[in-house]
């Protein structure tokens, strides 16, 4: 278990602070993560990677020459926010464009996609690529739905080495696509991991059994088998991967592969070597030439006891990139000459640091309530008081139920929903309080709360709740006193915006299963002329019933999808938290009626 921590909510930030203090030769801190200690060479594509904390050396440990130019680092098992990614990419950009790379998880896809849009709006040419190498998470016919695990490393490395060679952005992207299409991973676990502050692991494995098809966020495997010997484990890993070859690799015999045997956190290196001796023999028997194998902890999951095997099938070009030298805090290969000395380090990065600092300053100023707010009517400022009370009620109900939300989420997911919701809701309340204190109207209070929720929570829920609050804020505005119809209109737009952004629909076992009927019920009640508190009460009752109904659904999206059957009988965590919030807001409306 994770024993050394202070406030669990601050664990990721404090870990990143310590990492940068220990590795100043390679990295420097920027808002949202780290970038290389030396400036990106002018005109070179900047490869910016990222994901949640809890996977070291991924992602911050892979920043350095020959590998990533920067890494955006999110909360524990939660994607970094779009604002964090934008900040890191801005600091890393050297004029040649940016390639954003991440594992294929819903939260990462949402936040990196939003960051790419912001960078493009800034005039920075940007592309994005999600690694999807885990064959246990979806079949070959749905490979785009696969999650990214230890295959992140060879795909990141291929793209970064291509960038180091001075290739333009489109060619670097094509290299990433080629490496991703030829990378496959499969893993097993013997126990789950325990998040900081938790008193039990996210999942357990019965004595003398193992979970097959693990994820790297503490998700349980897709099945269980008897505990194997080291050689039997090697046989399972190799045979499983050799059953699924890339389309242009009809027979492994005579082919070359980059091989990674990855430890997930608490399997000792000696154990890994015992397994690898058999992996190497089995691949040799199959006629596979192993190129520069890696054995060790490369993409972890806190203290999970597990291992995974990754094969990247190489051609001449991919082999060249895989063998290329790299020098990072956690991954080194070959020999690199001394970096070109910066004639003026401050001048070389002034534009990058200034842009990142501006992004930080906007965030910090908004959090402290020091930025100017748009002119608001007296009626809207009074309504902002009700909004603040509602957000206070949201933060309190989330805090009271955070443990429960985490337990629900851990049934088939990664168990971080309670942590993320607590970080997001408390940050939103603080931002709303500061905006209200300086005279903001209802719309501005909500939009500032939206930005801070998305930024501090990260993950899928952070992106979606940021979208919900922003849609409401846009609808309410700062000019008029919001009536019931306008609130209902904002909730309806929030429902549509969440579906556009996340792609989920009713029946997928997500928060959408609550948001849509809640919005519909609120719109119907207000159209009938009911006052807001009464209309909200009716809609909240609908939301509670809809959340309970998700227990009977099988998830069709997100991290729970590979473990669909495990979630039967348990409601969706996002749906449940939304229902709790709608009822808490009703209480605040009654108090401000």
* Omega before 57 within 30 of 0, i.e. cis: yes
The CA–CA distances, whole Å, from 558 to 66, 110, 130, 420 equal: 32, 12, 14, 16
Instruction: Output the CA angle 448-449-454, nearest 5 degrees.
Output: 105
The CA–CA distances, whole Å, from 258 to 132, 278, 519, 552 equal: 17, 16, 51, 43
Query: Phi and psi for 114 in degrees, rounded to 5?
Result: -65, -40
Q: Is 592 a catalytic residue?
A: no
Residue ranges in 438-531 assigned as alpha helix (H): 442-457, 459-476, 484-502, 512-527
3-state secondary structure at position 263? strand
Residues linked to residue 326 through DSSP beta bridges, in sequence order: 333
What burial class does residue 148 get, using C-beta atoms within 10 Å of its C-beta: 0-12 exposed, 13-18 middle, 19+ buried?
Answer: buried
Cβ contact 176:99 at 8 Å: yes
The CA–CA distances, whole Å, from 140 to 132, 184, 241, 244 equal: 11, 11, 12, 8
Cβ contact 61:328 at 8 Å: yes
Cβ contact 15:75 at 8 Å: no
What is the pairing mode between strands 46-53 and 70-76? parallel
* Residue 12 half-sphere exposure toward CB, CA atoms < 13 A: 27
3-state secondary structure at position 444? helix
Q: Which one of the listed residues 23, 69, 93, 217 is annotated catalytic?
A: 217
Cβ contact 411:203 at 8 Å: no
Written in H, E and C, the secondary structure of 326-372 is EECCCCEECCCCCCCCCCCHHHHCHHHHHHHHHHHHHHHHHHHCCCC
Altogether, the residues listed in the chain come to a count of: 593
Query: Token pair for residue 112?
Result: 């990196």
According to DSSP, residue 144 is labeled G
Cβ contact 176:129 at 8 Å: yes
Query: Token pair for residue 551?
Result: 């227990």
How many CB atoms neighbour CB 550 within 10 A?
Answer: 25
What burial class does residue 412 get, using C-beta atoms within 10 Å of its C-beta: 0-12 exposed, 13-18 middle, 19+ buried?
Answer: buried
Residues 6+ apart with CB under 8 A from 256: 288, 289, 290, 291, 313, 314, 319
Cβ contact 452:367 at 8 Å: yes
Q: Rg (Cα) of the chain, in Å, rounded?
A: 24
Cβ contact 157:128 at 8 Å: no
Catalytic sites, residue numbers: 217
């Amino acid at each position: 278990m994770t024993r050394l921590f202070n406030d669990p909510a601050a664990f990721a930030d404090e870990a990143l602070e310590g990492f940068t203090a220990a590795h100043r030769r390679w990295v420097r801190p920027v808002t949202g993560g780290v970038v290389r200690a030396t400036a990106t060479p002018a005109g070179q594509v900047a490869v910016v990677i990222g994901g949640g904390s809890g996977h070291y050396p991924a992602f911050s440990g892979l920043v350095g020459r020959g590998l990533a130019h920067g890494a955006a680092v999110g909360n524990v098992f939660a994607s970094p926010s779009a604002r964090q990614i934008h900040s890191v990419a801005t600091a890393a950009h050297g004029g040649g464009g940016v390639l954003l790379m991440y594992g294929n998880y819903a939260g990462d896809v949402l936040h990196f996609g939003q960051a790419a849009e912001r960078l493009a709006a800034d005039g920075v040419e940007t592309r994005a690529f999600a690694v999807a190498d885990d064959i246990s998470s979806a079949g070959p016919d749905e490979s785009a739905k696969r999650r990214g695990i230890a295959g992140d490393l060879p795909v990141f490395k291929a793209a970064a080495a291509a960038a180091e060679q001075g290739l333009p952005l489109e060619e670097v992207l094509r290299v990433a696509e080629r490496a991703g299409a030829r990378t496959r991973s499969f893993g097993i676990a013997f126990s789950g991991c325990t998040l900081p502050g938790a008193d039990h692991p996210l999942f357990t494995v019965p004595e003398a059994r193992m979970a097959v098809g693990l994820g790297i966020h503490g998700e349980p495997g897709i099945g269980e088998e008897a505990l194997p010997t080291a050689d039997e484990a090697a046989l399972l890993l190799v045979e499983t991967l050799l059953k699924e070859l890339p389309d242009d690799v009809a027979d492994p015999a005579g082919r070359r592969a980059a091989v990674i045997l990855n430890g997930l956190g608490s399997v000792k290196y000696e154990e890994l070597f015992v397994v690898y001796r058999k992996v190497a023999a089995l691949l040799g028997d199959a006629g596979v030439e192993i190129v520069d194998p890696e054995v060790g902890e490369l993409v972890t999951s806190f203290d999970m006891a597990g291992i995974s095997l990754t094969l990247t099938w190489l051609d001449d070009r991919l082999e060249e990139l895989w063998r290329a030298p790299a020098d990072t805090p956690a991954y080194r290969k070959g020999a690199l000459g001394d970096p070109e000395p910066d004639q003026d380090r401050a001048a070389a990065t002034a534009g990058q640091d200034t842009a990142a600092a501006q992004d930080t300053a906007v965030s910090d100023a908004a959090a402290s309530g020091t930025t100017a707010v748009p002119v608001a009517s007296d009626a809207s400022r009074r309504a902002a008081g009700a909004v603040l009370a509602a957000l206070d009620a949201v933060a309190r109900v989330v805090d009271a139920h955070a443990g429960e939300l985490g337990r629900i989420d851990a049934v088939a997911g990664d168990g971080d929903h309670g942590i993320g919701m607590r970080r997001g809701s408390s940050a939103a309340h603080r931002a709303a309080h500061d905006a209200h204190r300086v005279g903001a109207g209802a719309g501005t209070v909500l939009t500032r709360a939206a930005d801070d929720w998305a930024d501090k929570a990260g993950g899928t829920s952070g992106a979606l709740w940021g979208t919900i609050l922003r849609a409401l804020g846009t609808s309410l505005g700062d000019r008029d006193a919001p009536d019931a119809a306008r609130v209902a209109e904002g909730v309806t737009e929030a429902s549509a915006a969440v579906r556009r952004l996340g792609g989920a629909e009713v029946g997928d076992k997500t928060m959408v299963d609550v948001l849509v009927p809640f919005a519909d019920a609120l719109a119907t009640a207000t159209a009938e002329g009911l006052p807001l508190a009464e209309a909200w009460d009716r809609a909240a009752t609908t939301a509670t019933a809809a959340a309970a109904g998700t227990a009977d659904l099988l998830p069709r999206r997100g991290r729970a999808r590979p473990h669909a059957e495990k979630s039967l009988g348990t409601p969706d965590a996002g749906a449940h938290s939304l229902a709790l919030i709608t009822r808490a807001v009703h209480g605040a409306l009654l108090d401000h009626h």
